[in-house]
Structures are given as C-alpha cells and as structure tokens.
Structure 1
Amino acid sequence: MSIPEVHPARGTPEDRARRGKEARKHAPRSAHALWLPSADRRDPVAVLERQGRDRLPELLPIRYGRMAGSPLAFLRGAAAVMAADLAGQPHTGLTVQLCGDAHLLNFGLYASPERALLFDLNDFDETHPGPFEWDVKRLAASVAVAARENGHTKAGERVAARAAAAGYRTAIRRMAGLGELAVWYEQVDAESLLPLVRSARRRRRLESSLTRARRRTSLQALGSLTEVVGGRRRIIHDPPLLEPAGVPDMASLRKIFCDYRSTLAEERRHLLDRYRFVDAARKVVGVGSVGTRCFIVLLAGRDADDPLFLQIKEARASVLEEHLPSGPYVHPGHRVVAGQRLLQSATDIFLGWMNGPQGRSFYWRQLRDMKGSAEVAGLDPAGLLAYARLCGATLARAHARSGDRIAIAAYLGTADTFDHAVADFAVAYADRTTADHATLGAAITAGVVTATPGV
C-alpha cells in the first residue's frame, strides 16, 4: 500500500473522521503491538556500513564509538535500521510530515524569533511524508530503551512507553476539535513545563536546564569556541571534533554563503548582510550524523563582540525514502528546511539551504540559539513517564499541522487500545535494540568496524 504525499485535508469533519475509522480495517489498532523481524532483515552493522560509504572515513570510528556506548546511543544512530523494520509492518496510510527520527532525545528547548523559550522537536534530517504511527513507534521505543538503561522494571518500561502513545492520542484528539489557525499557533512555552513537575528536586533540575538553555547563545559560543590569534578572532583547533576549514573548504564556504542567502526571506537577507564572514571550521555533531560534512561559520556584526554562529550541515536522502514514495522536494536541504518549518511551532530565522561543493546538498541554521535538552539518563519512573507524555503530545502538535488530525483522532479513538499496542511494540523493539547494540559490539571486537570510544 503506497503512502500519498502530504496535502491539506479535504471534506467535512464527518467525512474525515469516517476515513480515519476505515483505516482500522487494514491496520487494526491492536495490530501495532506486533513486531517480528522479517526473514530477510539485514544485519544492522551492514546497514550502518552502507550509510558510511559516502561519509568522511576518518570520522566513522567516532560514530561507531558513540553508538557502542549504550543501546539508547545505538538507537539514536540507527534510524535507517528502524526505518527498514517499520517498513515491513502494516500501516494506516494516514500521512503526515514525519520527523523521521522522533526519539525522545530529539525533543528539546530552543528560542523562537520573539526570544521565547519553546519546547519542540529539534532534529529534522530524516523528515519525509509517511504514516503517522512510524514517529510514534520510534518515540515509544526510545522511551522503553531509556527506561531499561535507567534501571526501571519491565513493567516500568511498558508504562513509560504507553505514556508516550497516550500523550500523542489525547493531544491529537484535543486538536481535532480546534480550528486551523488555533492548531497552527499551538506551542509549548518552556515555562509551562514547570507546573508539570511535582517533585521539588526535578523542578530545580528543570529550572537549571532552562537557565542553561537561555545562556546558550552565539555570544556564549564566542568564548567557548574561539580564541584571538595575532589580534584576529579564530575558531579554536580541537581535533578531531573541531578543525579549522582548509583553504579549499574556506573558499567553497564563502561561495555557498551567497547561494544560501538567496533562500532567506528578503528582510532576513537584509539582516544577514549586516554581518561579515570571519572564520569557518569543520565540526563533528550528534551520533547518527557523524561522518557527514558539517561546518560552523563565525560572522561578526556591529563589532567583534556581536557574533553570529551558523551551522552548515550536509543534507542527504532521508532514511525513509527507500521505503516510501517520493516527497515533494528534490533538494535534500530544501526537504529538511521545509519539514522543519512545517513541524516546528516557530523556526530559526536563518534556516536556509543550497548546493555545496561536489554537488552536495546543505542546509544552514544557527549553531546555538538557546538550545537545550532533557537529561534523560537517571530519570526516575515518574519523571520519565511525565517526559514521555510531553514528547507524545508535542509530536501530535507537529503532526496536526501537516496531516489530517481529524482522521488520525478518529482512528485512535477514545479507548486506550492504540496506547497498549504501541507499548507492547516498544518493549519488543527495545529487546531488538539491545541485541543490535550487542551485534555492533561484537563487530567492533572482531575488527569488522573500527570504533573510537569516548570522543
């Protein structure tokens, strides 16, 4: 069954709800509980090696070292593995713009253009149109793996994963009753998170996280990422994670800077023109992204103490594209930027895309703009349950902007059938992830792949 391109929902609310309920015929809600590896399931290490063929080979050991750190770290980097697993299961056909990598560590804090601190999805490298439940299942599976790593019981893993699905279901049903503009303007202000935390200790930790996020700006990065050499400001040399761009890269970055500028709105081009190019460096970021080409650029505005850091990240085909029909965007950078603008409640004013050297695609964004993430490691059962529910509700808000929220809400219904089914899936997939993580460890021990731990 093919997945159609995301398009505005049509018909009366009654017609749309009817379509949602009809989807239960070919994808019963209880069927989401089942997950069995297909007979031709590829070795997970082979999937990762295939991804690495066009990445910077000297950085791949860092990627494997980071993924080998824990099952949750493995899951973070194995979006391609899970995409293939999900593609082998029956699906609803209820299409949204998927995040494509909606694990619980890809939610966090960032600044809106109005400088409000918001909570939302924050990674869109794999965004692509597809069935809504794929994102929900990846989120729930990550919650189950996190619960296991935090020492929760098997029952606790299931309860936390169910909370993520329940948070999604109840939020999408609430938004099904709202008007289009009301849904579009929905956002989660970071301050609204505080009343959700009952424990005084967890509340203090959250307040500390909000404070740290507000401090993470280009000015703060100026002190931690640069130094003055010979009277000139330069990005520091911290190999292999941060290395100054060579002469060829520097020349290319200056050129594509102009191309990127053309993808911004007119008033933002005007703002960008007030900054001058100072320096650039190659930077290693994330887990799954390690090995792709990524740079940071230092710009100066009014004076040397008025910095702007931009990140240039290589955009590649989404891991979902192998398993789903083509989306509306040919340029991978355009796909990432359009997906982010559609899914996030507010987006970075410097978000843009362009072609780079050797025909590669890139997108640009601010490096640090009050960004922060939850400290998932060590969360007790109550804390993880609350966070999982919040992430589920936030994911529902993102999906409601692109998909047919009324059809999805009708499909899910008022009962908790879907919640329990996804929880069963999540625990089973946590077992699979633990085994896949062990497979990577064995491949490292056998010398099949080289890993550099602790970098």
Structure 2
Amino acid sequence: MSGIIGEVRRMSAKATFKRRSRSPAARKKPAASISKQKKEKAQSTFLALKSLGAESGRSTSIGANGNAGEVSRRDAGAAEPKLASPDLPSVQMLAAGKALRDRVPRQIHGTWKRNKEKVDVLAILRASDKGRIKHLLPIRYGRMLQSPFTFYRGSAALMAADLANTPTTGIRVQGCGDCHLLNFGGFATPERNILLDINDFDETLPAPWEWDVKRLVASFVLAARSQGLSESDARDMAVGCARSYRKRLREYAGMSPLEVWYSRITVEDLVAAAPASTRQRFEGRLRKRMATEIEKSSAEMAYPQLAGMVSGKIRIHDAPPLIFHPGADTGGISVEEFRSRVEEGLKVYRETLSDDRRELLDQYRLVDAAIKVVGIGSVGTHCFILLMMSANNDPLFLQIKEARQSVLEPYAGKSAYLHPGQRVVVGQRLMQPATDVFMGWATGRGGRHFYVRQLRDAKIKPMVEAMDTEVMSFFAKMCGWGLARAHAKSGTQELVISGYLGSQDNFDEAMGSFAVAYADQAERDHATLKAAVRAGKIEVHIES
C-alpha cells in the first residue's frame, strides 16, 4: 500500500512544483477538493489496487477462480474492510488514477478474445434455466432467437463470464450488471417528474466499472446493425457513448457528494443536449411520446386492459402464455394455494417498507394475482402482477419479480446482502436518482426471493426500431451520461476513474474497438443458439 501511495504523492509534489513555476495568468484552477466523507472512503480504491496486485505490477484483470491478481469472494453479509484513511486530496486521487495507466494501458480495453476453456455458450445458457418455470423456457429462447441483439439482451450471464476474463483497473462501483441500451429509459419519480436513467437492476452488484461500460457500448453496435445502419456509424455510437461517460464522470468528480446525489437527467436536460438543428423537432416528438406513455401507464388506463369483471368478480384477464392464473391445467398449484402464498408474501414485503409507505399500502386490499411473463432475460422466472384496490375502487398494480443471484456474483464476489431482493432494492436506490415508493422485498413460502415495485410507473422505453443514425447516436451519449451519473452517485471512486480516463480519447476509441469485436462475438453466439435449435437440443416458441 505504501508503495502506490508514495508514488502518487511524489507525482503530486512534482505536479505542484510545475504549477507554482507558471505565471499566475497561466495557472489552472485546482481540482475541486473532496469532502471528508470521500477522503475516508477513498481507501477502498487503494485496498482494491493492492489486493489486485497493482503495487507489484501484476496484471489487474479480474477472474473467477481466486488466483493471484483475482478478486476473492466475500461471505454474504460480511462488512467491508476498513483501514485508516490515507487522507489524499483530490489532486492525488486523480494522480492515482493516472498512475494506473502504466499497469493497465487504456488501449488494452479494446482487445477481445474469448477464453474458450472457461466459457461454453450453451452450458451457461442452460445453467441459467435452473429454477425457472419449465413450460415458459421456449418463450425465452424464442425471443433470444429473433436476432443477435435480442440474444444479447437475454444472455447477461454469458457476457459476465466473458467480462471476468478482460482487463480491469481494480476499481469498483455499484454496477448495473445488465447495462444494455434498452435498460435505459424514462420513468416517473415519486414527485411525478420524468427522468432518464437506468431502469433495470436485477443484476446489480459492486463490480469493476469497466464491465457496465463495455456491455453498454456493445449493445449500441448490435442495435445499429439490427436497424441496418452502417458499420462506421455503429462504431461511432460506441465511441460517443464512452466519450460521454468519460466527460460526464469528470464533471461529477468535481461536485460535492450531495450535488451528485441530487443530480438527475431531466427532460429539459435532454432537449438542451439535442443537436441544435433538430432540437425543436426532437422536443416535440419527446413530449408527445411522454404524454402518451404517461397516460398508458397510469393504473386507471391499465385497468381495462389488464382486468375486468369475470363471473361477478374483478379479475386479471388471462392472456396465455404471457398472463395466466396458475392451476392444474398449467402444471402449477391451485388458485387457492397461489392466493394464500401471495397474501403471506405481502405481509413479509410490508415489513420491508418504511412506516409512511406501509400506511400508503394499507389503503389498498388484494383483489387478484396472476403470473406475467416479462422481458427476455427474466422469462421463466417467477414473476407476478397483483391487482390492489382502494376503498373507492381505485386500482393499483404491483409487480413481484423473482430475485436470483446476480450473474456477476460468480466473478465479482457474493453480495453483501443475504436476500437477493434486498440486493436489487438497495442497488437501485444507490444508483437511481429517485425510486418507486413501493420498492421492497419478500421471501415466498417455498424459499424463493422476490422484490416488489409498481407495474408500469410511467416507464418510457426507447424505440430502437424507430431510431435512425442521428437519434441513436444522441441516445448513446445520453446513456453514457446516465451511467456516469449512476456510478458517481453509488461510490467515491469517480476521481480515480477520471484520472485514469484522462482528457484524451484513448479509452473512447478502445471502447469502439471492443464494441465491434464483442458484437461479432454475440453474432457467433446467436448462430450457436440457432444451430442448437435446428438440432433439436433447445425447444423454442415463436410468438405471433
């Protein structure tokens, strides 16, 4: 530890001498000082560097087997280690990041080659089937089969295994874990304002910051290819996304912890960031889409689509195979047993809410519940929708999603939380600027873990199929911004990461190269799935 800190301080002293040698007019404004809280937490960066071999010059790539230079797993619930603070000011934290370039050159992130001895595509996909509802698995594979992009969205576990064998600096943040472009979008805050941010945290876990960036940039290349956009434009989108991440992170590094915590990307921010030539047209389209989605997502508007009177009772409409009540005909438990389990789970969930949120929840009663298939990666997991009603029959729809081990845990270490639902809720609260008032978690009678949130709380999903090069390029920059904000809010390492990234485009260009190479890999993996389907090894259901 003393070696790296000593090196950083020598670099800082040299930089200070150079600044004092300049004329007053030529001096730059010093980097923003950091708070005592950030100084105290900065030690975790140096602890990570030491444990990863940065001090001795060993490779800092993270692997899965606990060998030298790899991250070891912590026991679930274990406290983070605490050391005396090195009390480094911001200029030295920036220098610490810069020093990492000697051990992990920024250009090295652009390389990609799969370790075929450690990664078996079909084996990893099948391993993720464990514990899922069997008769829904063909739907999952049918959705993944549609294109390399949909395959990518459903194979977060596969990329996690790949990322574990890529170089990293050893600096960790709260990671999204499944950071592709369709997991960004608009959503309503408790104050009913619309923000742009990450909106899926099923796989969230503390992990190397590079992993989120790499998954995000590769998703833009695949999305661009799915739209028939040029290869050069696809690569430029990845570079632009990484550049936005780098520049925005540097901005957050100069803010106080409270400024970062309260920061958010509003509709006004989106409009202001849009190209001047198309800003007016973009604002009109955006606000029209917002109004439509907000109206569609309200419980009052969702009610006639999802529920109605059946035999004199209010019931959620069955729309198999995507929405259905369990029963003997579906190979599940009886309707009565299902409701009993839901009621028990609601009681457990209620205890995870704060007192004021419990009071709000208590104003609604359970009316009905059904199984609902969602997404691509989540298909087959146990997910439900609950219809609640107030005394005046005002509807509230809650979504209960199964929470499983994060796909990152085999490679980044176990979660500090024994309950996967709590892992999701805490990770979302750390990364998002505002979270759903009904967020909580529960354990079912059979020992399954869940988290709870509102269904369709004014969520606005990006429409990739309607994006041209200009719109997708702009969205790439916005996602880079959103990821930088989430990483800065969830940790104290933005200064070190910023020092590493610097002001040049070395890392940005490396991400362009990685994104193209990994998109090629995803296309090969998609072809592997297609071959398995043709050979009868995997059953699929193609939805009409």
Shift of 1:367: 0.6
| Correspondence for 2:43 | none
| Structure 2 residue 467 is matched with structure 1 residue 379 | yes
| Correspondence for 1:369 | 457
Q: Give the counterpart of 2:435 among 341, 344, 347.
A: 347
Q: Distance in 2 between matches of 1:71 and 1:39?
A: 20
Counterpart contact for 2:271–2:282, Cα < 8 Å = no
Amino acid of the residue matched to residue 313 of structure 2? R
Larger Rg: 2
| Correspondence for 1:208 | 288
Shift of 1:202: 4.6
- 308-317 vs 7-16, which deviates more? 7-16
| Structure 2 residue 386 is matched with structure 1 residue 297 | yes
Q: Distance in 2 between matches of 1:372 and 1:272?
A: 25
| Correspondence for 1:312 | 400
Identity %: 46
| Correspondence for 2:306 | 225
| Correspondence for 2:543 | 454
| Correspondence for 1:338 | 426
Q: Please give the per-residue CA displacement for 1:329-351, whole angstroms capped at 9, x wherever unaligned.
A: 11100100000000000000000
Q: Give the counterpart of 1:13 among 75, 90, 94.
A: 90
Q: Distance in 2 between matches of 1:257 and 1:108?
A: 28
| Correspondence for 1:257 | 346
In structure 2, the CA distance between the partners of 1:13 and 1:195, relative to structure 1 (3 Å rule), is closer
Q: Give the counterpart of 2:199 among 117, 122, 142.
A: 122
| Structure 2 residue 317 is matched with structure 1 residue 236 | yes
| Correspondence for 1:427 | 516
Could you say what secondary structure the match of 1:359 adopts? coil
| Correspondence for 1:440 | 529
For normalisation by structure 1, the TM-score amounts to 0.96
Q: Please give the per-residue CA displacement for 1:110-148, whole angstroms capped at 9, x wherever unaligned.
A: 110111111110000100111101000000000011111
Could you say what secondary structure the match of 1:92 adopts? coil
Shift of 1:66: 0.4
Counterpart contact for 2:424–2:451, Cα < 8 Å = yes
| Correspondence for 2:60 | none
Q: Please give the per-residue CA displacement for 1:63-116, whole angstroms capped at 9, x wherever unaligned.
A: 000011111100000100100111011111111000000100000111101111
Could you say what secondary structure the match of 2:345 adopts? helix
Could you say what secondary structure the match of 1:52 adopts? coil
Shift of 1:152: 1.6
Q: Distance in 2 between matches of 1:125 and 1:140?
A: 19
For normalisation by structure 2, the TM-score amounts to 0.81
Could you say what secondary structure the match of 1:377 adopts? helix
Q: Distance in 2 between matches of 1:12 and 1:293?
A: 48
Counterpart contact for 2:400–2:450, Cα < 8 Å = yes
Amino acid of the residue matched to residue 176 of structure 1? A
| Correspondence for 1:145 | 222
In structure 2, the CA distance between the partners of 1:288 and 1:148, relative to structure 1 (3 Å rule), is same
Counterpart contact for 2:119–2:162, Cα < 8 Å = no
- For residues 86-235 of structure 1, the aligned pairs below 5 Å read 86-197=163-274, 198-199=277-278, 202-215=282-295, 216-235=297-316
Question: Unaligned 5+ residue runs, structure 1?
Answer: none
Counterpart contact for 1:109–1:213, Cα < 8 Å = no
Could you say what secondary structure the match of 1:401 adopts? helix
Q: Distance in 1 between matches of 2:358 and 2:81?
A: 30
Shift of 1:408: 0.9
| Structure 2 residue 144 is matched with structure 1 residue 67 | yes
- 385-394 vs 219-228, which deviates more? 219-228
Shift of 1:203: 4.3
Counterpart contact for 2:139–2:542, Cα < 8 Å = yes
| Correspondence for 1:266 | 355
Q: Distance in 2 between matches of 1:7 and 1:374?
A: 40
Shift of 1:382: 1.4
Counterpart contact for 2:425–2:451, Cα < 8 Å = yes
Higher relative contact order (CA 8 A, sep 6+): 1
Counterpart contact for 1:172–1:409, Cα < 8 Å = yes
Could you say what secondary structure the match of 2:464 adopts? coil
Q: Distance in 2 between matches of 1:195 and 1:234?
A: 45
Amino acid of the residue matched to residue 372 of structure 1? I
In structure 2, the CA distance between the partners of 1:190 and 1:263, relative to structure 1 (3 Å rule), is same
Counterpart contact for 1:101–1:138, Cα < 8 Å = yes
Shift of 1:230: 2.9
Q: Please give the per-residue CA displacement for 1:143-171, whole angstroms capped at 9, x wherever unaligned.
A: 01111111122211110110110110010
Q: Distance in 1 between matches of 2:248 and 2:125?
A: 35
Counterpart contact for 1:296–1:367, Cα < 8 Å = yes
Alignment RMSD (CA, Å)? 1.7
Could you say what secondary structure the match of 1:287 adopts? coil
Could you say what secondary structure the match of 1:120 adopts? strand
| Correspondence for 1:325 | 413
Shift of 1:407: 0.8
Q: Distance in 1 between matches of 2:81 and 2:355?
A: 27
Counterpart contact for 1:264–1:352, Cα < 8 Å = yes
Shift of 1:46: 2.0
Amino acid of the residue matched to residue 461 of structure 2? S
Q: Distance in 2 between matches of 1:370 and 1:59?
A: 27
Amino acid of the residue matched to residue 234 of structure 1? R
Could you say what secondary structure the match of 1:420 adopts? helix
Q: Distance in 2 between matches of 1:138 and 1:13?
A: 29
- 327-336 vs 343-352, which deviates more? 327-336
| Correspondence for 2:133 | 56
Question: Unaligned 5+ residue runs, structure 2?
Answer: 1-68, 75-79, 327-334
Q: Please give the per-residue CA displacement for 1:266-309, whole angstroms capped at 9, x wherever unaligned.
A: 100011111111100000000000000000111111322x1111
Shift of 1:324: 1.2
Q: Give the counterpart of 2:377 among 267, 281, 288.
A: 288
- 85-94 vs 238-247, which deviates more? 238-247
- 10-19 vs 257-266, which deviates more? 10-19
